[in-house]
Amino acid sequence: MRENRLPPVRAASDTARVQQLHLIAAARAAAVPATTEQQVSDIVRVTVDDEVDTTTFKAIVADIADDVLR
């Protein structure tokens, strides 16, 4: 059975896909009453599903946690 996934983000020039993943993760984190950065990290991990590198992942988590955990 074929998977219904988009190809992983490999190039830094594919910023549109990274922005899309960031927005989806932010919406999911806002919809759930996350109270810790670990919960936000888990939501982002499920959303990006190995499509971004570690540095980008950490940046997305930090950005979303700043907004959600205020």
What does the pLDDT profile of the chain (70 residues) look like in tens digits?
556 666 665 555 588 888 999 999 999 999 988 889 999 999 999 999 888 889 999 999 999 999 988 8
pTM: 0.77
- How high is the pLDDT of residue 49? 85
CA distance 60 to 32: 17
Q: Distance of alpha carbon 1 from its chain centroid, rounded?
A: 26
Distances (CA, A) of 33 to 39, 62, 70: 9, 17, 12
Residue 63, judged by CB atoms within 10 A of its CB (0-12, 13-18, 19+), counts as middle
